[in-house]
């Protein structure tokens, strides 16, 4: 993983957006793996600004999101569907038929996990996966003790994740107890990973990032693009870290 120190949240967001925009310019039909949470909001804002300036075109881009709360309606403003439309999809020219997220309203876990895994297979390789990291080191909703061999699965959220996410809800009781998440195995198949880490948790989160704590240790092992000639070989995983707080965190 190549660690890039950013001076503040804005700088972190611009650096992440730069990598994603280069990807979209070089390969207009890229598959982008996307995350929610406060860490990537500034990245989406920057991408929207460049789109509005005419520098970016998302018409041929396909997206796959990491996760969605179980039992959450897409129109609920706490759903990850809502988040993605609010911060990104509604502001760029992405084709709605190329937007993919787990369906939190499917009660049959087996059916939904199989459906989403089939979607992930059908879109092909993820060119860039954008990630945040939870306070306890979770990636997507893959909690630290999760089994990394899995594809999409339904998880029971840990108390620490419920505690961390309650800031977005009226109270901790309103935070869903389960979520659908892409598995670490699938995340590891992305060609490139951009991990954005910011705010008061950055010290502990990047502590996780530099230690052997799973699942982040799996991300650290993400392979370098060794098939390219040395002169053009670049890191396949970028950790963009700032200790400045995200303005989006209450
Ligand atoms: C969201 C997700 C989560 C967040 C993590 C960090 O789709 O997958 O793993 O990335 O909880 O959240 P923030 O960015 O709010 O600190």
* 11-21: average pLDDT: 97
Report the predicted TM-score, pTM, of the whole model to 2 decimal places.
0.90
Give me the pLDDT at residue 149, please. Answer: 64
* 128-142: average pLDDT: 89
Query: Mutate which of 33, 37, 87 to test ligand 1's pocket (most atoms within 8 Å of Cβ)?
Result: 37
Comparing 125 with 148, the larger pLDDT belongs to 125
What is the bridge-based pairing of β-strands 2-5 and 237-241?
A: parallel
Catalytic residue at 136?
yes
Comparing 227 with 35, the larger pLDDT belongs to 35
Give me the pLDDT at residue 211, please. Answer: 55
Q: At residue 117, does pLDDT exceed 70?
A: yes
Query: Mutate which of 100, 133, 144 to test ligand 1's pocket (most atoms within 8 Å of Cβ)?
Result: 133
Average pLDDT for the chain:
87
31-40, 78-87, 126-135, range with the lowest pLDDT:
126-135
Query: How is residue 130 written in tokens?
Result: 């954008």
Q: At residue 205, does pLDDT exceed 70?
A: no
Q: At residue 210, does pLDDT exceed 70?
A: no
Per-residue pLDDT tens for 19-75?
A: 999 999 999 999 999 999 999 999 999 999 999 999 999 999 999 999 999 999 999
Catalytic residue at 138?
yes
| Residue 236 pLDDT grade (very low, low, confident, very high; cuts 50, 70, 90) | confident
Cα–Cα dist 109/158, whole Å: 18
DSSP string for residues in 154-207: EEEPPHHHHHHHGGGSSSGGGS-SEEEE--HHHHHTSSEEEEEE-STTHHHHHH
Catalytic residue at 85?
no
Place of tokens 């990630």: 131
Comparing 100 with 242, the larger pLDDT belongs to 100
Pick from 240, 223, 214, 245: nearest CA to 35 = 240
* 157-175: average pLDDT: 88
Give me the pLDDT at residue 91, please. Answer: 98
Do residues 93 and 59 touch, judged by C-beta distance below 8 A?
yes
Looking from the CA of residue 40, the nearest atom of ligand 1 is: 14
Cβ < 6 A, ligand 1 pocket: 35-39, 66-67, 132-134, 138-140
Give me the pLDDT at residue 224, please. Answer: 55
- Ligand 1 center to residue 231 CA distance, Å? 34
136, 142, 153, 222: the catalytic one is 136
* 94-98: average pLDDT: 98
Give me the pLDDT at residue 249, please. Answer: 47
- Ligand 1 center to residue 66 CA distance, Å? 10
């Amino acid at each position: 993983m190549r660690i890039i120190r950013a001076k503040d949240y804005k700088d972190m967001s611009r650096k992440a957006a730069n990598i994603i925009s280069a990807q979209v310019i070089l390969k207009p039909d890229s598959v982008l793996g996307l995350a929610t949470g406060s860490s990537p909001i500034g990245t989406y804002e920057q991408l929207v600004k460049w789109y509005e300036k005419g520098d970016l075109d998302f018409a041929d881009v396909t997206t796959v999101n990491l996760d969605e709360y179980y039992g959450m309606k897409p129109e609920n403003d706490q759903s990850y569907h809502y988040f993605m439309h609010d911060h990104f999809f509604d502001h760029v020219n992405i084709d709605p038929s190329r937007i993919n997220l787990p369906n939190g309203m499917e009660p049959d876990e087996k059916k939904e996990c199989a459906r989403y895994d089939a979607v992930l297979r059908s879109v092909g390789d993820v060119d860039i996966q954008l990630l945040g990291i939870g306070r306890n080191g979770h990636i997507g909703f893959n909690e630290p003790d999760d089994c990394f061999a899995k594809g999409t699965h339904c998880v029971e959220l840990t108390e620490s994740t419920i505690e961390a996410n309650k800031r977005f809800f009226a109270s901790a009781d309103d935070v869903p107890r389960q979520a659908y998440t892409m598995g670490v195995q699938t995340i590891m198949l992305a060609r490139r990973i951009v991990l954005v880490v910011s705010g008061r948790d950055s010290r502990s989160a990047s502590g996780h990032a530099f230690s052997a704590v799973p699942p982040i240790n799996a991300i650290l092992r993400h392979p370098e693009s060794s098939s390219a000639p040395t002169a053009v070989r670049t890191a396949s995983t970028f950790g963009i870290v700032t200790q400045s707080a995200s303005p989006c965190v209450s």
